[in-house]
Chains A and B, each alone.
Chain A
Amino acid sequence: MSCHKCVGALPAAGLSRRAVLNRVGMGLGGLAVANLINPSGLAAFGEGQDRGVLGGQFHLKPRAKRVIYLFMAGGPSQMETFDYKPILNQRNGEQLPDSVRQGQRLTGMSGNQSSLPLAGSQFRFEQHGAAGTWVSNLLPQTARIVDDLCIVRSMSTDAINHDPAITFFQSGSQIAGRPSMGAWIHYGLGSDNEDLPAFVVLITPGKVDQPLYARLWGSGFLPSQHQGVQFRSGKDAVLYLSNPEGVSRESRRLLLDRLKELQLHAAEQQGDAEVDARIAQYEMSYRMQASVPGVMDVSNETDETFDLYGKDSRTPGTFAANCLLARRLAEKGVKFVQLYHQGWDQHDNLPRDIERQCRETDQASAALIVDLKRRGLLDDTLVVWGGEFGRTSYSQGRLTATNYGRDHHPRCFSIWMAGGGVKPGLVYGATDDFSYNVAEHPVHVHDFHATLLYLLGIDHERLTYLYQGRRFRLTDVHGQVVKDLIA
């Protein structure tokens, strides 16, 4: 299969997969099934695993095999976390200079304020690690592992409101209907695990803040098997996973056995080529009923592990528990774990609220890195931490001695990455003295996407899908791989 065939027009790629499936006598519908879950049952038929549209032929040397994305929904303030700006403290209360704002648009929330007073962070920054990286004291655990992180302080995005911005970050477009990052990766690379979805979504429940939408992990115009599958704490980790009340596993097994007989009989009668796939579909769902609770069941984790992630990690659904779960999913080869934690939209009462947010996330985020590293998983697992935009260096609402808020700010913000082929201990890019504009090494969301795909062995310009006559890609018509970030 030539590279052109893999990545150019989709049909050619699909064709080659079909050819493979036909050669091994696999039914057609199995492709879709295999894209969601690659069962050991199918392994017997040949190729063994679902390798996505690229068929396992990477464009580039893959550095990461999987991604865990800690999405900090709402937009964490860079000035309270990784972007140390003492000048803001020195000039606290002064107006944001016009020369800095440069007439750039503000949201309708602070755009009508009569003044835009600079707000210095109330939190102390110290240098940490071998590289002397500045980290706020809100993130003591993150500070301890800072030499494992690659911090990008020069991120920027196009959108100024949550919905367009988070949609843009997750799908490369502000317009609804495009596939999410995880869906693209699933489509391109397939799955590495036997009986779990390749793209899993975890959300910290109960954080009523800026909403999350199904489109953020949707498949857009890609076939729907590429969409993320949400794992929830509670009875049904996956929707409709449990048998109905009163139906035992034995009863279900027998039902499926008879169902299989019915399908095989029908295939005999009618020459049905898809029967294997359909049987596999049901077998996979049956195995999922065991494998999903299996991966969700953390009872065999040690106390030491729980201590590492923090005491919240014993409470299902918390951010800490989800981080631990993310590690377990990574161990099982889940390709893309998308974790969401809401609550970063601190328009007012920022000092109080960000402290709480950081308390909820700092230890477990750091623990995830430590845990992956000691298990030898960090090398080929890319971990990303960050939100959809940053926050303004001026105060939204009244600036007082103890309180301030910050509005949305798309022009610069910080994220970090770790493992998966990025340079550890690197601090990349810089903002101006006011953390208002990128001053050095800008990294746009499209560049971030291009880089993320690059780390996974994908040339972002060559993973395309033909829809409405156009070859779409995650990076639209933009994106530059930021090679400086790559180890």
Chain B
Amino acid sequence: MAAARLTVVLVLALAARSSFIAAGPGADEKVPPTTPRVDFTRQIRPLLSDRCFRCHGPDASKRKAKLRLDVREGAFKTMGKGWAIVKPRDPEKSELIRRITTDDIEDMMPPPESNLSLTDAEKALLKRWIAEGADYRPHWSLAPVSASPQPTLHDGSVAANPIDGFVRARLDQEGLSPAPKASPEVLIRRLAFDLTGLPPSPAEIDAFLEDRAPGAYERLVDRYLGSPAYGERMAMDWLDLARYADTYGYQNDVERDMSPYRDWVIAAFTRNLPYDQFLTWQLAGDLLPHPTREQRIATAFNRLHRQTNEGGSIEDEFRTEYVVDRVNTFGMSMLGLTLECARCHDHRFDPITQRDYYSLFAFFNNIDESGLYSHFTNATPSPSLLLWPAGKDEEHRKIEARIHELESQLRAMSRTARKAFDARPTTTPAVPAPISHLAFDRVEGGKTPDAATGGNAELKDDPQRVIIAASRPLNAPPVRGPWDVSAYAMRFSGDNAVVHPGVRTFDRTDAFSLAVRLRPTEQQDRAVVLHQSRAWSDAGSRGFELTLDHGRVFFGLIHFWPGNAIAVRSLQPLPLNAWSSLTVTYDGSSRAGGIGIYLNGVRLATEVIRDHLYKDITYDRAAGDNVNEQPRLTIGARFRDSGFKNGLLDDLQIFDTALTPAEIAQADGAKPTAAEALDHFLVRQYQPYMSALGSLRELRVEENTLITRVPELMVMEEMRERRPAHRLERGAYDAPREIVPRDTPASLPPFPSNQPRNRLGLARWLTDRRNPLASRVAVNRIWRMHFGRGIVATQEDFGSQGRLPTHPELLDFLADRFMASGWDVKALHRLIVTSETFQQSSSATAALMARDPDNQLLARGPERRLVAESIRDSALAASGLLNPTIGGPSVKPYQPAGLWEQSGTGKTYKQDTGASLYRRSLYTFWRRTSPPPSMITFDAMSREVCTAKREVTTTPLQSLVLLNDPQFVEAARRLAETVMKQSPSDQAARTRAAFRALTGRLPDAAEAGILSRLFKEQQAIFAAHPDDAVKLLAVGESAASHEVQPADLAAMTSVVSAIMNFDEFVVMK
């Protein structure tokens, strides 16, 4: 039994040892007797790559003696006096041979300190290669896919299924013959697990065994390919690559629901979305013309990387990490290349330069994202897609239409109201009364009074009250209007603050204004003047904020910075060491155009920094925000932000209306213009306008209520202005070097000239028929799903250090056919599983096992241990517990208590109840820093990074799971109940039924005997200890049947448990 169970250690080891297979790192070289000439691709290039490229390969910075062996020109470089590095047909004049054979420590290659060496056989091989003429070719996987014709077999025939043709031709060469066809029981089980991840039910097995009509097997194939479980099984595999999980990863590892993406993957496979589109949608669905919701959801693939919210993290550092992760995942999942090696320096083995790396990086860095997600809110990091519940988006569109309608009515009114304006009684505009006014003239007991409310604001960490009268002559503006001349102001240190609990919370539909006098004394990159928010990056800046950005006035309303916010900034900075009377108004429109900034009564020229606010700026505990109350208006500083250092501030007034320009001018002693006067009239005096404004506000509140709780999904969305990409020295975020254009590596076909230089163009390049990698990688992956091992064993690396294909012509034939079929995945499965190669028995003679333990030659059928998900799903299915619901948020099945608590995040695993306990395992909640233990024990991945394949190990911990995990105990009991009810008195029949449900076949006489004895022994134990029987039957949430004797049921549960621990339950033969 087989190789399926080997650890990867052995897989590699054995592969290397087999003489018929390509040499690889560490391979023992044996000269195949049937190959007279040395094969460069199989025998020489891997040696050069593994032992020489590190110093004489693609990485120019590490290249020693300016020698590179990975390209022909380098390897054949002449040296004078008739010598060359490699001199074809003349090993004696080849420097390479001299260096690898010399005893001189100085000259010896590889140098001793490299810890690398060549065996005598390898040296001889290199010599022979040169003597034979030194054939030299580029790396196989970068060459175009070329479809060879199907080989003719030694008897002159051509196989009906081309796969068999290629495999048989190779077996012929090796003098081996294929194994006989597997039994129908084995075949249906193999097919069911391969195509659905679930075992066949006894009824399905019966039906298949009884179907004697021609095409029975093909019909079965089509039925499985057509079942929704097929999509789930395919998704299970893809989710490791996509690093799909239910939490952000890193540190606090907060939950975020990305299940719409997972469900899209399932649906895409189920409906057989052509694979080129499957890739294109994920890379660039948002850039397709008129993208559908599904196409945009698919792009979440690029947002599944880990994210952090650890306090104090440097935003830029992590934003860089995210882009890097996208590039690496793209490389591994779609190109089969280890691009990440080129993050810090040119790739040591493959022709990928560091510049190439950042040229790819440039495709993925252009979204309006933050490097940190929010600790204090549950905001979805931007950019995101609103996931409207059915019908609600329609409702929302209607409200928006009514808002637009009212807004155009208001515009029209401003033209038609002229007559009324001219007829108005001429009065000086009275500035509305502030709802709050802090004059800072009195401080008592750490409090300062609010002249408007009669309440107090609180001084935190002692901001200083200073006399400012003396400083007024310096450059004080004239103080007029309602603003009192005050003798005092507040001076802030940058760390201390005034918090005002008496001011109401404003949301994004509220019109409000702030008027304040400021005197900055230092040039700061960033100074927080005042805000209504919990924190800066720790809260995604949720709320509103008035800051000085290099002295320029910045005002923003923010749900999550930067992608869900509006903000404007003045073009000019405030003067230092001078008083400025600053007024900010906001009209409740959620548009940057609704913000006005005024200096000394005059509107400032501003630029729009962000104009995309579509959710509220307040906090909502019920929606998952991590705060107990709305943050208070705070002046002078913010949590972990840069405060108003040594700044003076006075006379803060807050208005619950957008002050009109006329009012502001009036207050600051300026004269309003005619247009300002008209505006003022409309808003304050013209009833029809005022009433329409009231209706508008009601609609905005309605819209806000509707949209703010709509869930969102992180997706891709290009920024309008392209963010430049730099080469980063040593990969460090803070070491940007030259700007690089968006481009693909020079060693692969060129970027198509008719495609846009964006992710969509990149997807077109990837899926272009000339691209040698995408189809080979995809085909290899699907092959691996059926045979447990790819034609290229290193699914994660098709590069120079990866293993060579065992059947290169077959790989190319399939890749070519796959593309020609329109990337039809189901057709590819069908071709594979209907081959005789696939249908062979997996039994092997000892001789064949010894010769080909890994089944690389495919002289027998596939056999392997099931993946973690299938083991559990199989127990659920066989016991009848399985809940076949497809999709939706992840569920929390049984898990030992206390694991999450122990990790120190203060989070508790709240186990589900009822049917949610029994969903297929791909729906199990995946917490990256504490993944489900029973899954991890069976080699599932933590999903922190893209992983191309799982290794298979065998450990005692796995036995403990199968024997003791409540899920398996409960499943055993349920299956025991079922078979006992089916056969009320026939113990042998019960055992047969249970054995078949779990292994797909009937027990033979010996097995039946062993299990019968087991039942009797267990029955005796439980009959003697009835309490124990009751306890065992109580395991699991589902109630035990009362129709069966507890001792009998407990004993039968043990029998089923034994079968679940029998190899044939976890192994697919």
Contacts and interface: CB of A to CB of B under 8 A. Distances in A.
A258 B965 contact: no
The main secondary structure of chain B at its interface with chain A is: loop
Interface residues of A, number: 105
A214 B964 CA distance: 22
A4 interface: yes
Interface in A251-277: 251-252, 254-255, 258-259, 261-263, 265-266, 269-274, 277
B910 to A, nearest CB: 17
Nearest to A267: B1
B7 A210 contact: no
Interface string B842-882: 01111001000100000000000000000000000000000
B896 A239 contact: yes
Given A15-B17, A109-B640, A255-B1018, A163 B310 contact: yes
B308 A163 contact: yes
Nearest to A271: B846
Given A113-B494, A175-B945, A29 B310 contact: no
B1058 A282 contact: no
Given A213-B253, A223-B953, A258-B1058, A11 B901 contact: no
A36 to B, nearest CB: 5
A107 B318 CA distance: 13
A304 interface: no
Interface stretch (B277-285, B884-892, B1061-1069): B1061-1069
B955 A225 contact: yes
A241 B963 CA distance: 9
B960 A285 contact: yes
A441 interface: no
Interface string B305-335: 0101011111100000000000000000000
A110 B312 CA distance: 8
Contacts of A223: 7-9, 951, 953
Contacts of B953: 32, 223-225
A398 B959 CA distance: 55
A211 B901 CA distance: 9
B929 A211 contact: yes
Contact of A114 (B2, B15, B493, B961): B493
A14 interface: yes
A114 B495 contact: yes
A209 interface: yes
B1010 A18 contact: no
A294 interface: no
A206 B900 CA distance: 11
Interface in B5-32: 5-10, 12-17, 24-28
B26 A214 contact: no
A128 interface: no
Interface in B900-917: 901-906
Contact of B1010 (A114, A175, A209, A258): A258
A302 interface: no
Contacts of A29: 5-6, 954
Given A9-B26, A207-B904, A470-B341, A281 B253 contact: no
A4 B350 CA distance: 24
B1007 interface: yes
A36 B955 contact: yes
Contacts of B767: none
A398 B497 CA distance: 13
B717 interface: no
Interface stretch (B64-72, B144-152, B792-800): B792-800
A234 B896 CA distance: 12
Interface stretch (A94-102, A242-250, A448-456): A242-250
A112 B903 contact: no
B1 to A, nearest CB: 4
B259 interface: no
B1029 interface: yes
Given A18-B13, A247-B1032, A469-B797, A112 B956 contact: no
Size bin of chain B's contact surface: 35 or more
Contacts of A177: 944-945, 947
B348 interface: yes
Interface string A328-372: 000000000000001000000000000000000000000000000
Given A205-B902, A211-B929, A163 B1014 contact: no
A284 interface: yes
A401 interface: no
A398 B944 CA distance: 38
A271 B642 CA distance: 72
Contacts of A4: 115-117
A209 B904 contact: yes
A205 B898 contact: yes
Contact of B1013 (A14, A234, A239, A258): A258
B1006 A14 contact: no
A407 interface: yes
A268 B8 CA distance: 27
B904 A15 contact: no
B898 A398 contact: no
Interface in A109-149: 109-115
B625 interface: no
A63 to B, nearest CB: 22
A239 B802 contact: no
Contact of B902 (A163, A203, A254, A277): A203
A244 B1035 contact: yes
Contacts of A109: 311-312, 640
Contact of A107 (B312, B939, B1062): B312
Contacts of B944: 176-177, 215
Given A205-B902, A282-B1061, A11 B349 contact: no
B7 A225 contact: yes
B252 interface: yes
A278 interface: yes
B380 interface: no
A470 B348 contact: yes
Given A11-B27, A114-B645, A223-B9, A108 B537 contact: yes
Nearest to B1031: A246
Given A31-B7, A203-B902, A468 B338 contact: yes
Interface stretch (B384-392, B665-673, B686-694, B930-938): B930-938
B422 to A, nearest CB: 54
A218 B939 CA distance: 11
Contact of A213 (B8, B348, B799, B930): B930
B971 to A, nearest CB: 12
A226 B1027 CA distance: 40
Interface in A197-219: 203, 205-215, 218
B1034 interface: yes
Contacts of B734: 105
B312 A240 contact: no
A288 interface: yes
Interface string A32-75: 11001100000000000000010000000000000000000000
| Interface core residue of B844, B934, B1054, B1063 (most chain A CB under 10 Å) | B1063
B956 A36 contact: yes
A17 B7 CA distance: 12
Contacts of A28: 3, 5-6, 10, 853
A298 interface: no
A18 B14 contact: yes
27 contacts: A14-B10, A18-B14, A32-B955, A33-B954, A36-B955, A114-B494, A176-B944, A205-B902, A213-B928, A218-B942, A223-B951, A224-B937, A225-B953, A240-B934, A244-B964, A244-B1031, A246-B1031, A258-B1011, A262-B1007, A266-B1063, A281-B954, A281-B955, A281-B959, A282-B959, A284-B956, A464-B115, A469-B801
Given A108-B537, A254-B1014, 15 more contacts: A8-B117, A12-B28, A33-B954, A108-B311, A114-B494, A115-B494, A212-B929, A232-B898, A244-B1032, A266-B1007, A285-B963, A464-B115, A469-B349, A469-B794, A469-B797
Pairs A-B, 4 closest by C-beta atoms:
A469-B801, A9-B26, A114-B494, A107-B312
